Structure 1
């Protein structure tokens, strides 16, 4: 469906390319049908469908941006006011950026109760998730143009319109995320062919890489990508019927995971977190690096783990960031059965106190 020829970026679905070529480029339905190798009525249905979907604010804004992009590259007469939105936003022609953001954001949208929320005039969108106590928790932040691209690729659909709009992940978005997870673990094994990402798109499982102390190479672990161990523990009740993990503890864990996810997006995507596990050096990163983006996120994760120290830092790193289950964490740490969740709760209490001392400086957006 992607990588269509023409003046639009590579990631744009082919029906959208046909719509833009017809509406912005003035190409006839018959000419588009000959180029696509289909009947003109098929192109007509695609054009009508996307014209109707402009009721969605994100789709309308995305088509406006792409239309300006299309006209600029078609005319080659210089910049006009119509392409101003393209100059003040991330490069939507970068398919790598869209895929990288999709791995991070779609993984959060697959969690139960997760919604993407954005205001009409906001430059950022946030992913909110409702936990056991019914309180929303922010779990991810993304740029508005990226959210527009998700809507255009039919990965999210609008639930409510107004000054604040809410979106949920679609079956196509879930399938796309599973294909991404399958592609990440599709390295061929000796004597076997690589598994097909499309065959794995119906599965919820995925893999994470962790660096064990003393190991020469990272080790892959399988986990449920649709829900973190923190979410499972938040639904459990203690002897008095209260949630095992309170809302503020879940918020602290999700904040650490959000920083961890952003930290993997920078130039040092192969960051080795081995030195933050038990028995390793917990030195910080270069304090002279700019305090923004992935570099600042790595610094925040490092500061939190240094504050927690060995043991407590290990359990939050494994459970909140690597998404290891409690049983596997207990086995790696050499703890007795059913003791890991108690240590995790203590670690989250310490982590909450760490973020409280940081104040507004620990927040990612205003």
Structure 2
């Protein structure tokens, strides 16, 4: 019979191994200049996040630390890399007929099946510097290369729509992957749940980027004929702290886009382009979750640093002024949506007080 506390340690150390793999993937997302590679490094996080998320839940469901001192520990469950994790999985699975270990057998089977997918990944341990790398084949522009007076005009004009899709691909989705990667690497002292939340977001953004890339090609897009702006990256780089960076990226840039995206989806629906409308709706649902992540960790930092609501509001107003984006957005406001994505009631009330006078 396996010592249950050895299993607890095995699960916890496995998460540490996963975190190191996430760090390596995050570095590669920033360092690579090739769009396809960035997307693939982001997609690689799927098995890592699925496994770690399951392990976190399993650890919470297991017993408290040992109350019996004379249980003999087996050091063979002390893992340090992916290979040793998989070796331990095989050892534990040899007990699969033991009814008392049914939960653990299911968990270990998941670890083995998911992490085996990561064995072929070869990462680079180089330090990732910001801003992120762009391929020499990519063209920089000071301004967006598409313009439209409305979302109706945007989705109806194929040339503008193609340029818009490229903007979403590089300046929204890829940039968000890079920013989340940078957040992970810069803040390893945060709770590991922080890293796992942002790994989930990177995976989401990579899936979005893959879809947008495919749609861009289907519509007749050519990568070499389009330009990127790096606006999202430039705004993020103006932050001076983790808290301010979360406000700039998760709240001002992503949070204020949720209602705007609904307008785009509506126009695609009117034109009966339902596959695209459904795809963007799925993407927007993920983005709403990312705003929730931002609000969650802003709340954590407020509590940890005893920051008052008035202080945070002042920081948010200053950040909005710094990057020239209105704090409450400019593409519509829905208080119910804002509450659903984690905005605190006091913030919603401040906005209502301002606009009701």
Give the TM-score range, shorter chain.
Answer: under 0.3
**Which is bigger in relative contact order (C-alpha 8 A, separation at least 6)?**
2
Q: TM-score, normalised to structure 1's length?
A: 0.27
Structure with more strand by fraction: 1
Query: Higher helix fraction: Structure 1 or Structure 2?
Result: 2
Q: TM-score, normalised by structure 2?
A: 0.28
